């Protein structure tokens, strides 16, 4: 099933709807290789398949894939290899790139709107919940996206944010110090200035946790590939099963974000 990003942020009505029970499986940091290859002694392709199989058994309404589809440098064939796996899920899925991805290659494989290296951003609605996807593939959220986001948040103040990089430090030493999102001042001003409680769903740090910063609740999705020890100053791999984040909104207004490890 093809991902869908509306071109216009005024596409949906602004009437606040009643919450419909919704489940979304967030999957991140796949770091895929060509079949038969291993990454740091783990079969990243098999780990992804086990996550897809497990998540599909929970029958989510949609899937969010938050970047780093390729293990190192982007490879077009990896994206073509991934697409039939996602199409086979039989549910809508939505994509945002990570720092190991190429926007043009993603567009070629998934027929996404836009051209070449333009950011892959957009408004997504699952049932009656709104999500604003932001592209941080280059390690920053550029000025054009910030202009778009400022308007989008005004129109859809209840929308959650979906992106690859967390916009605030997460207490994961190696990643906070070596590979944080850069130039975050304007982005954080947009996300916090209205004071409205806002959820952000991201990946990139290869661990799972939730951090609150001012009005923001930032959820780190665990990876399908390798895990990083959060307390280590240098890169240190932790051996854990592949995982994903199951997001659930209930009709009563409750929200759950459950890191789900696949044995």
Q: What is the pLDDT of residue 2?
A: 44
Q: What is the pLDDT of residue 169?
A: 98
d(CA 172, CA 232): 8
Contact criterion met (CB below 8 Å) for 39 and 33 = yes
Give the confidence band of 7 by pLDDT, cuts at 50, 70, 90: very low
d(CA 123, CA 4): 9
d(CA 91, CA 55): 11
Mean pLDDT of 6-22: 59
**Better-predicted residue by pLDDT, 72 or 165:** 165
Bridge partners, 26 (sequence order): 64, 245
d(CA 77, CA 239): 28
pLDDT in tens, 48-62: 999 999 999 999 999
**CATH 1.20.140.90 describes domain 22-261:** no
**Element (DSSP H or E) covering residue 243:** strand 243-249
Contact criterion met (CB below 8 Å) for 240 and 229 = no
Contact criterion met (CB below 8 Å) for 120 and 95 = yes
Q: What is the pLDDT of residue 16?
A: 58
pLDDT in tens, 176-209: 999 999 999 999 999 999 999 999 999 999 999 9
pLDDT in tens, 24-43: 999 999 999 999 999 999 99
**Where does residue 72 rank: exposed (0-12), middle (13-18), buried (19+ CB within 10 A)?**
exposed
pLDDT in tens, 120-176: 999 999 999 999 999 999 999 999 999 999 999 999 999 999 999 999 999 999 999
Contact criterion met (CB below 8 Å) for 41 and 260 = no
For residue 36, what are its two tokens?
Answer: 């038969």
Q: What is the pLDDT of residue 15?
A: 54
d(CA 96, CA 163): 6
Contact criterion met (CB below 8 Å) for 250 and 21 = yes
Mean pLDDT of 6-18: 49
Give the confidence band of 215 by pLDDT, cuts at 50, 70, 90: very high
Mean pLDDT of the chain: 94
Sequence ranges of the domains in the chain: 22-261
Task: Characterize the bridge pairing of strands 216-220 and 209-213.
Answer: antiparallel
Q: What is the pLDDT of residue 19?
A: 82
- Whole-structure pTM value: 0.93
Going by C-beta distance under 8 Å and a sequence separation of 6 or more, which residues neighbour residue 228? 172, 174, 175, 205, 206, 207, 235, 236, 237, 238
The upper half-sphere exposure of residue 98, i.e. CA atoms within 13 Å in the direction of its Cβ, equals 30
Q: What is the pLDDT of residue 18?
A: 76
For residue 66, what are its two tokens?
Answer: 């938050």
Contact criterion met (CB below 8 Å) for 226 and 39 = yes
């Amino acid at each position: 099933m093809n991902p869908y990003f509306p071109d216009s942020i005024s596409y949906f009505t602004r009437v606040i709807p009643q919450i419909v029970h919704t489940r979304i499986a967030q999957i991140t940091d796949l770091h895929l290789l060509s079949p038969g290859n291993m990454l740091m002694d783990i079969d990243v392709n098999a780990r992804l398949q086990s996550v897809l199989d497990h998540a599909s058994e929970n029958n989510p309404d949609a899937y969010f894939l938050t970047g780093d589809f390729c293990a190192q440098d982007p490879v077009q064939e990896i994206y073509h290899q991934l697409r039939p796996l996602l199409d086979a899920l039989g549910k809508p899925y939505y994509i945002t790139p990570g720092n190991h991805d190429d926007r043009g290659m993603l567009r070629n494989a998934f027929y996404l709107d836009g051209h070449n290296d333009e950011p892959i951003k957009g408004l997504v609605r699952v049932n009656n919940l709104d999500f604003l996807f932001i592209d941080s593939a280059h390690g920053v959220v550029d000025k054009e996206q910030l202009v778009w986001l400022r308007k989008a948040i005004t129109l859809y103040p209840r929308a959650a944010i979906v992106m690859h990089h967390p916009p605030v430090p997460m207490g994961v030493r190696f990643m906070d110090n070596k590979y944080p999102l850069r130039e975050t001042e304007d982005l954080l001003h947009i996300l916090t200035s209205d004071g409205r409680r806002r959820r952000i769903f991201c990946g990139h740090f290869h661990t799972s946790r939730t951090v609150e910063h001012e009005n923001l609740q930032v959820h780190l999705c665990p990876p399908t590939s390798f895990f990083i020890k959060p307390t280590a100053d240098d890169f240190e791999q932790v051996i854990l099963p592949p995982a994903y984040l199951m997001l659930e909104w209930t009709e009563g207004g409750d929200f759950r974000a459950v890191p789900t490890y696949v044995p």
